[in-house]
Structure 1
């Protein structure tokens, strides 16, 4: 998988379309969750894109400290269903953490994790904080690296 990092204005319309399509495939269709994925925040995000054979198969978006949380943030962590056995989720998370350090000069990161992925995020140094909560009808928990 080849990983690139782009600001919103540097995305081609085809990349943006493919990112939104992947997010919709997983978060709306696969997880059967009706929610507002296009939330007006993409223009302020750093987009971490994983491509394989020219197709976007993994993705995250990252935010500077103070935009989404007090800490830098990683969100919309997604890997195409047919690509999950290759462990690309680990690669895209590693790239996201490095991008935050490079572009935002911090290693303090917060994310809102689906609870069934707690061990995955713990393997990347995140620790749960607070109580779990429902986000769009799915159990989540806040996790941080400080």
Structure 2
């Protein structure tokens, strides 16, 4: 397994396709949550995609996890955190988050966490900043990790 961090142009066509396919498989199909995943933010020059590739998979460089880090001006935003169903339970979300947090450095970081995952994100210094809300049929809470001095 290896981690690749890149803007969308550096991912390559097949890897970018596999990232979007995994997000669709989990968020739209598995979670039964039709929403416009392709929102244009993947293409922003400052967006960084963190991708886990499984070199041992039957197809070389299969995407088994991904997230994106967006530049929202005064803070960074982490989103679209996903691990393939076949790769869950191996701590791979933590591998993704470790890389994302390194990319964010000391900046303030925000995310909208699925409600059941707040403890996971609290382990990275995030705190709930508002009430629970329904996003496309899945309950979330806004979270923030303050800027580090």
Q: Same fold (TM over 0.5)?
A: yes
- Contact 1:132–1:141, Cα closer than 8 Å, also in 2: yes
Map of 1:77 onto structure 2: 81
Aligned counterparts of 2:65 and 2:21: Cα–Cα separation in 1: 12
CA-based RMSD: 1.1
- The separation in 1 between residues aligned to 2:65 and 2:125, in whole angstroms, is 20
Gapped runs of 5+ residues in structure 2? 56-60
Matching residue within 95, 98, 101 for 1:91: 95
Structure 1 residue 113 displacement after superposition: 0.6
Q: Does 1:58 align with 2:65?
A: yes
> Number of residues paired by the alignment?
139
Given the two structures, how large is their TM-score scaled by the length of structure 1? 0.91
Structure 2 counterpart SS, 1:141: strand
Q: Between Structure 1 and Structure 2, which shows a larger proportion of helix residues?
A: 1
Structure 2 distance, partners of 1:14, 1:23, is 14
Gaps of 5+ in 1: none
Aligned to 1:114: 114
Deviation beyond 4 Å, 4+ runs, structure 1 = none
TM value normalised by structure 2: 0.89
Q: SS of the residue aligned with 2:120?
A: helix
